[in-house]
Structures are given as structure tokens and as C-alpha cells.
Amino acid sequence: MKIVMLGAPGAGKGTQADKIAEKYGLPHISTGDIFRKNIKEGTELGKEAKSYMDAGKLVPDELTVRLLLDRVKNDDCAKGYILDGYPRTIPQAEALDSELAKLGEKIDYAINVEVPDENIITRMSGRRACLKCGATYHLKYVPPKKDGICDECGAELVIRDDDKPETVKNRLSVYHEQTQPLIEYFENKGVLHSVDGTIDVEDVFKAIEQILD
């Protein structure tokens, strides 16, 4: 069972990927984790990726796919895996499909967690973080006991740059331009399934379970 998670930043696809991983015993794979592991271990692919990153360049799609395929050959991927944050563009999806086809494999499910932009802006701009101990809160969903103060260590809570409304709007515009076309791409492949990401987290997961079961 090979799954791709789709959805705008802040839609909650990472949370759902974790839930799928736990229930179905599949590894939750992000390209960021793969890059970090290969660079840390000094593999040939890691060194190649690092050379681009050190030069301030994006890692080419072809190299990213090679890193990804190297990861999914591990024993823990025998039953399948969940890709989160990759592919991000049509060329990446085409490169992935092409390489998987050589192995006689394909993506089985593309799960799109749908959340309107205005919900995402509200959701992300309500996040607060403690830079001292790393605890996270949400003004609406998980508020601190005392406004602006961390429950765990008493430090002041801040809004991260990534969660500021103007940053979120920029990230959403990049998503709509580059990543949203993947919805149609996977729909044409006959593997797209969309779920309403505005409902309770557990209800979103129930909808996903119905698709996968």
C-alpha cells in the first residue's frame, strides 16, 4: 500500500500520515528526513545532495527520487509506505512514477486533505510556541492556562515566522501554483481520494480508514 499525502500547508496531512502509519504499520517518509539522514551518515547520495544545499540550490528532482527509492528499498517498506511532502510538483510526480514503474510498482492512493485557505490562515496564525522548552499551543484548540505563558516552563510564548498570516499566505500561493495541480494528476491516474480536513481530526481519520479498508 503506497500512499501519497496531498493538501495545503497546515491542512493536517502530517497528523493523518502519522495515524495511518500507526494503524497500518507503514513508515511515514518525508524527503527532509531522508536528506538529513543521508547527509549525517555521509552516504554518496547524501554528499551529492549536500553539495547542492551548500550552494543554496534546490536538490534536483532526479537526485531526490534516487534518495527516495534508496529509502523505500528498506525492509520496513515491504508492505508499503506513506510519502508526506513529496512529490510537490508534476515533474517530481512523473519522475517518481517512471522510476516506480521500472520496479513494477505504483502509487496506490493519493489522499487529499481539503481545507479552505481562510481556515488554514486562522488555524496556523493561532499557533504559539515556547522557544525555551519546545512546547506548542493553539489559542483556540490547545490554549495555555495563562495567556502568552508556557504551562511547562513559564517562558513567554511566541508566534513563529512560519505561522504569521503573511507567511502563510505566501506558502499557500506557492502551494496553489506548484502543488495543487497534483490533485488533477493523481485523479487522472484513478488513485485520488479527497477528505474534508475541516472536521475533527479523528473524523478525518475515519474517512481515510474507509478509503484504505
Q: Annotated catalytic sites, by residue? A: 13, 88, 127, 160, 171
Q: For residue 136, list its beta bridge partners.
A: 129
**If 0-12 CB within 10 Å is exposed, 13-18 middle and 19+ buried, where does residue 129 land?**
middle
What is the 3-class SS of 168-191, one letter each residue? Answer: HHHHHHHHHHHHCHHHHHHHHCCC
CB 20 within 8 A of CB 208: yes
CB 182 within 8 A of CB 91: no
Q: Which residue has the cell 491516474?
A: 189
**If 0-12 CB within 10 Å is exposed, 13-18 middle and 19+ buried, where does residue 48 land?**
middle
Q: Rounded CA gap, 96 and 62, in Å?
A: 9
Sorted by sequence, the CB contacts under 8 Å of residue 82 that are 6+ apart come out as: 3, 4, 5, 17, 20, 21, 26, 27, 28, 29
- Residue 140's CB: how many other CB atoms inside 10 A? 10
